[in-house]
Structure formats: structure tokens, C-alpha cells
Chain A
Amino acid sequence: MSLSEYFELLISDYTLRTITLGTAVLGAICGMLGSFAVLRKQSLLGDAISHAALPGIALAFLITGAKDTNILLLGALVSGLIGTFWIRGMITKTHLKTDTALGLILSLFFGFGMLLLTFIQKQPNANQAGLDKYLFGQAATLVEKDVNLMVIVTGICLVVLLLFWKEFKILLFDADYTKTLGFNTKFIDVLITFFIVLAIVLGLQTVGVVLMSAMLLAPAAAARQWTNKLSMMVFLAAIFGAFSGVFGTAISASQNNLSTGPVIVLVAGAFVLLSFIFSPGRGLLFRELRFRKNRRDLELQKTLQFMYGISKTHSDISHPHAIKILNDFQGFTRRSLQKLEEKDWITLTGQQWSLTQKGFNKAKNLYNQQEDD
């Protein structure tokens, strides 16, 4: 199936439409909440939480014996939240650092989850197959019910975001100030963390425990490059996330043997790479161009300054001098002379140059920062 066929099928094929819608919604909600995670320097919290959710899934199955997605996700939510708050407890109450706390929760919970999963597999209960889809995720198992759940959660999340926008924003950028203003920072903090955990848990079924953190981070990291405004960043991240979902699903559906999760992550990674390079404000390409331009300007100004140093000893500032005397001076080239002439700062006649009045004034005021150029 080629990509164009995929988009044709998208309209007619029910399953494909459900899956695409699901990954798109998932990408959007992850992008939105991921923006907060990235800005709060909690990027890797997502990784820890998604791993920490595994024992919850296994325990939920062990207790209920049913493989209902909602119940399993509820278990994941509970164990993800326990993991999150344990991480916080560790950071605030002991001298273990954030990275150690994250790594501990991640690996210990995951190991416990694996113990439970392998234990379940040995049980004489034929119902257990398929629990391991939460490890790597299988978008193909998304059904309408799951997508509905995602849409509802995204809706609630949007409403809460809009309601508490001001609080989230101020907590993000200045937690101490928030406290002095009398906001209940603990509540806001728990609220946003809760929604981040919720988004991660929702994504487990689609992209799996291992890759979930990238779903959360990548759209936000890409969006960050294009704007310095929080609202714009959240919006862009949602768009990037949704597009990663759709493109990822499209590519994996059009090829054999490609699981959706990794492809979505790669698409999101490509978004990040493009943003890193091409974003006009922060991107590497434009930054390099700016550097070059600045360097060129600096050389021109150096040459001009040198000329100024020579000319100001003469009563006539436009007194012609030989180009030769510039030879010892670094930063002078034929081209830079032409540039200077283009700017009307000097005039060239044969092998001689002379400073113009404009160039003289320019050089005189070069280091005067009050002057506009």
C-alpha cells in the first residue's frame, strides 16, 4: 500500500480511520502536556512514569482477571502516580538527586512489572495473552472505545488547561512568586502532574512503555524552537504531535512489518531535527548565518576604524592614502574595500583610498552606543 492509497483508504476504511484519529489525538494531548513537562525540566519524568505504570497494569489484571482496557489503564494511572510521588518524596526528603530518583523508580517499577507479567504468563488462565502489547504498544489494537476515551480525556484536559492557564503559566516560570501571590502551588503542581501522568498512561496502549517519553518530549521540544510564547508553544506542540501521529500511522500502514510506535517517534524526531536546524529565531542554520554576518560586519568596522585612525591625523579627512599601507592590517581584503565603498564610507581612486565624510562620522561614532546606525 502506498502513501496515497493510505489517504484514500483513510476515508473509506473504518479501522484505519479509528487508528489514525487515535494517534492524532494522542499526539495532540501529549504535545500539549509535554510542553509543560519540558519547560518544568521534567522531561524524563515521562520516561519514569511510563515504566512505572507497568506493574499497575499487571496488578489490575491480577486483581480483576479481566482485560478491560479502562481497568488496566486505571491500574497504570495509580501506579504511575505512586511512582511520581515517590520520586518527589525522594528528591525532597533524601539527598538522592533527581536523576537517581527517576532511574530508580523507572527500573525498579519496571522490574517488578516484569516479575508480575511473567508470573501471570505462567498462570493457567488463557486470558492473559496480549498484556505485553503495553511494552511496545500496538496502535492496531485501538478500537473506537479507546479513541473515545482519548478524546474525552483530551477535552477535559483542554478545559482544565484553559481554566487554570494563568496558574499553570505563573507556576511554570516563577514558583516562588506564585506562592507569594497566595496561589495554592501544591494543588496546581499536583494538577498538572496528574494530567501529565494521565497523558502518558493513555499513550501506553499505542506507543508502549519504552517510547512514551519521546511522544511527550519531541513535539514540545520542536515547538519550543519556533516561539517564546507559552500559548503558541502549547498550540504548536499539539499540532506537531498530531501530525507525527498521522504521518507515523500512514508510513507504518503503508509498509509491511512496521510497528506504529517507533515510526511515530521517528517522525516526531524528524520534526525536532528540522526545528533545530531551520527555526528562524533559535535554529542552528540561521544562528550560523547571523554569526557569519556579524563576523563580516566586525571586520569591515575594524578596517574602517583603522582608516579613521590614519585619516584623523590629517587636516583634510578625505586626503587619499595608498592601499598599500593597509597591507599589514588583518581583516582587509579587496572585497572588504569594495564593500566599504558600496556603503559610501570610502572612495577608491586607482591604488588610493580616501575616507568620505559619512565614513568619518561613522567611524567616529562606532563605539557610541547611544547613536543609532
Chain B
Amino acid sequence: MTSPQIEIQIIACIVAIACAIPGVFLVLRKMALISDAISHSILPGIVLGFFLTHDLNSPWLILLAAITGVITVVLVEAIQKTGLVKEDTAIGLVFPVLFSIGVILIAKNANDVHLDVDAVLLGELAFAPFDRWLVAGADLGPKSLWVMGTILLITLVLLFLFFKELKVSTFDAGLSSALGISPIVMHYGLMSVSSVTVVGAFDAVGAILVVALMIAPAATAYLLTSDLKKMIYLSVGFGVFSAIAGYWVAHWLDASISGSMTTVLGLVFLAVYLFAPDKGLISVMYRQRQQRTEVSLLTFLLHLNNHSEENERHINHLQEHINWQKVRSRTVLDLALKNNMIEIEDNVVSLTSKGKEFTDLALEYIITNKDEKIEFMKDDFFLFRG
């Protein structure tokens, strides 16, 4: 590995961590799309900042652009407050307009601005090591490393200082204001940090891929855990993993680093989405199928309970009466037999005492809808675990 390669990977990791932390809170607060809006609408701020500073890494430019990001949030909320359109429409209206203004500003001043919309949107990490910070002739490393490092440091400090406040206001805004922690201050604090992070990162990975780095690790972690701290650790882990793996994929394909980082993130997400133990697609589908069978079983038991006449309880009759397919009836019958709920004599099904007890309890649960009635049944059945 050459030194620029190492530097690129370090920058990528720092960007990934800096994005993952606010991303967790955005995802939990159902504001993931605000990051998308901010990442687009900072464009006019960047352009204006660039006119003033002529340096893409200047702190003033970052500040100015971050303010544009916060303005976006304020605008969205103002429009939403008029009640004329819904929140998502408000977001969808504000950021394209601001972005268009940015694009037009660039186009109209093409001669003065060495700024490309492509560069803002897509970024190019491969060039990051070439823009170095020189102080009195000494080479202190790539500028974006310093910029993102500072942003990450600020984010971390704020996270440690306000972890409890953030947690409370994220999960229970009412409780948080009752405790004297203003959810509004937390909201705008988070928005400001997100804005600054997006602005700092756009240079390295581009505006849209910042969104991926914010949302994807957090969403992936959210599928794996319900613990806030674990979620933060996991999303930082996913971010760093995809940063390094993404770099090498890009190296191998000779393609955009940020693109391949996102692709790796996407693959990680896909894997977790499919295979996560409790909340993954496969386990959800499995659970739903189980539940369907169990509901059928319950229907079946209730039917048996309701009918004492033999012809109603004949195996062949059940199929036409409850209108089940053959396979389904077989599954349900087998399940009931296996659990000793029923016994079959001369093709006539009847409830065992255990089955009777179970059915009565289930009935009581259905009528009263009280959880304690079925506590002990939960071990046998998925159905009552929800």
C-alpha cells in the first residue's frame, strides 16, 4: 500500500464514522430523508461560499453551506406548518428548488467558478490526498482529513455530552420536555451537526453518497438490535467496513470509490435485510407462515369445540367446512396431533382434555384480550408472542 492509499482509506473511514453517528438518530427519528434534502440544498451555500473563499475546504464555506442546510430544515417546517401540503411534499419541494438555484448559479458563473455540479454530487475520494494542508512549508497531510477529523471530533464530543438528552428526546419528546430537555434544541442541534457533516463529506464522497453513508449503516444496524448504544457501534462498524472494502473493490474495478463504498453498503444491507435473526425478511416470512398455521389451528380447535355432532367432526367434512386445501388441513391436523390437542377415532376428530383446556384459554384470551391468560402458552406458540 502506498501512502496516498492509506490516506484515502483513513479519510473514507473517518467520513463513514462521522456520517454514521448522526445517521442513527436520523433513522430513529424518522427523518432519514432530511439528510437527502440537506445534501442537495447545500449546493447554493457551497457556490456562494466558493465565490467568497475560493477554497472548497475553507471552514467559512463549510459554515455557510451548513447554514443553508439548516435553512432547508426551517423552510420545510415552515411550509409544513401552513398545512397546505404534507411534510414529505414540503421536503420534495424545497430541496430541488434550492438545488436548481445552485446549479444555475454555477452555470451563470462558469468562468469564475472551478466547481462542477458533478463534483459536488459525486465527489472523488481519489483526489483527496492531493489537496494538502501546508503550514509554513510543512506538509500536515490532506486537508479533507483535517476537515473531517475536526467534524468527527465535534460530533463525538457532542454525542458524549448529550447522549442522554438525545436518547430521551428521540424516543419520547413529551417526556423530554417534561424533564426540561427541549426537544426543539435537540432537533436543531442534530440538524446542525448533520448539515456540517454533509457539507464536510460532500467533497470526499459526494452529496448523494453522504446520504447512503448516513442511512444505510444505521438502517442495517437497526435490523439487528434495539439497543441504542449497540446500534451506534454496529453502524460505525458497518461504515468502516464498507469504507475499506469499498476502497479495494474500487481499486480492483478501477471505478469510483464512493460508488463502490455505497455498493458494499448496499450488499451488507441486503444480506442483513434477508438474514437478520429477528427482523430479517426470511425470519419475518417464516414467522408469518407459522402464525398463519397457528391461526388455522386455533380456528380448527374452536370449530371442534363448538360441535359435538360426529358428522361435523369427520375428517372429510372439515375440509369442506372450513374450506381449507388438502395440504393445509394435513399440516394443521398434524400439528394438533403432535401437540396432543386432538385424537382421531374412525376418522372422527375430537378434542383431548389438553386441547379443550387450550381452546378455553384461547377463547378467554380472545374475549378479554388480557395477556396474563396466555403467559404459559407462549412457549408453544408463536401466535401469542407478538
List chain A positions with a Cβ less than 8 A from chain B.
38, 41-44, 46-47, 51, 89-90, 93-100, 102-104, 106-119, 122, 132, 135-136, 210-211, 213-214, 216-218, 221, 224-225, 257-259, 261-263, 265-266, 269, 272, 276, 282, 284
Contacts and interface: CB of A to CB of B under 8 A. Distances in A.
B122 A114 contact: yes
B208 interface: yes
Contact of B262 (A99, A108, A266): A108
Interface in B229-279: 250, 253-256, 258-263, 265-266, 269, 273, 279
B196 interface: no
Nearest to B206: A114
Report, nearest first, the 6 A-B pairs whose CB atoms are least far apart: A111-B262, A115-B259, A214-B96, A107-B212, A262-B100, A114-B259
Contact of B258 (A96, A111, A263, A265): A111
Interface in B102-122: 103-104, 107-108, 110, 117-118, 121-122
B111 to A, nearest CB: 9
A210 B254 contact: no
A115 B122 CA distance: 10
Interface stretch (B27-35, B185-193, B336-344, B350-358): B27-35
A51 B211 CA distance: 12
A265 B279 contact: no
Contacts of B250: 115
Name which of A51, A99, A117 has the most chain B CB atoms within 10 A of its CB. Answer: A99
Given A47-B36, A103-B215, A114-B258, A269 B93 contact: yes
A104 B216 contact: yes
B212 A95 contact: no
Nearest to B110: A257
Interface in B139-155: none
B209 interface: yes
Measured as residues with beta carbon below 8 angstroms from the partner, the interface class of chain B is 35 or more
28 contacts: A44-B88, A94-B273, A95-B279, A96-B219, A97-B32, A103-B32, A107-B208, A107-B215, A107-B216, A109-B266, A111-B259, A111-B265, A112-B259, A114-B262, A115-B256, A117-B259, A118-B255, A118-B256, A132-B118, A211-B99, A214-B96, A214-B97, A218-B93, A224-B85, A259-B107, A262-B107, A265-B96, A276-B82
A217 B258 contact: no
Contacts of B223: 94, 96
Contact of B284 (A94, A99, A132): A94
Given A94-B223, A119-B253, A41 B100 contact: no
Name which of B88, B117, B285 has the most chain A CB atoms within 10 A of its CB. Answer: B88
Interface in B11-55: 27, 30-33, 35-36, 40
A269 B41 CA distance: 14
B89 interface: yes
Contact of A100 (B30, B258, B260): B30
B86 interface: yes
B281 interface: yes
Contacts of B27: 97, 100
Contact of B40 (A42, A132, A136, A210): A210
B176 to A, nearest CB: 20
Contact of B121 (A44, A102, A210): A210
B202 interface: no
B208 A102 contact: no
Given A43-B89, A257-B110, A276-B79, 11 more contacts: A42-B88, A89-B281, A94-B280, A97-B32, A108-B269, A110-B262, A113-B259, A116-B259, A119-B255, A262-B99, A266-B100
A44 B91 contact: yes
Contacts of A115: 250, 253, 255-256, 259-260, 262-263
Nearest to A97: B30
B238 to A, nearest CB: 13
B32 A122 contact: no
B119 to A, nearest CB: 12
Interface of B: 27, 30-33, 35-36, 40, 79, 82, 84-86, 88-89, 91-93, 96-97, 99-101, 103-104, 107-108, 110, 117-118, 121-122, 206, 208-209, 211-212, 214-216, 218-219, 222-223, 250, 253-256, 258-263, 265-266, 269, 273, 279-281, 284-285
A82 B266 CA distance: 14
A298 B263 CA distance: 62
Q: Is the interface of B mostly helix, strand, loop or mixed?
A: helix
A221 B92 CA distance: 10
Contact of B219 (A44, A100, A122): A100
Contacts of A272: 93
Contacts of A263: 100, 104
B93 A111 contact: no
A132 B214 CA distance: 25
A171 B8 CA distance: 51
Given A103-B215, A108-B216, A41 B88 contact: yes
A107 B223 CA distance: 18
A100 B215 contact: yes
B92 A269 contact: no
Given A94-B281, A100-B27, A103-B35, A110 B208 contact: yes
A165 to B, nearest CB: 23
A93 B284 contact: yes
B170 to A, nearest CB: 13
A106 B68 CA distance: 22
A266 B97 contact: yes
A262 B92 CA distance: 14
Nearest to A107: B212
A170 to B, nearest CB: 20
A44 to B, nearest CB: 5
A362 B31 CA distance: 52
Contact of A282 (B84, B117, B284): B84
A119 B254 contact: yes
B255 A122 contact: yes
B209 A107 contact: yes
Nearest to A255: B108
Contacts of A217: 89, 92-93
A98 B219 CA distance: 12
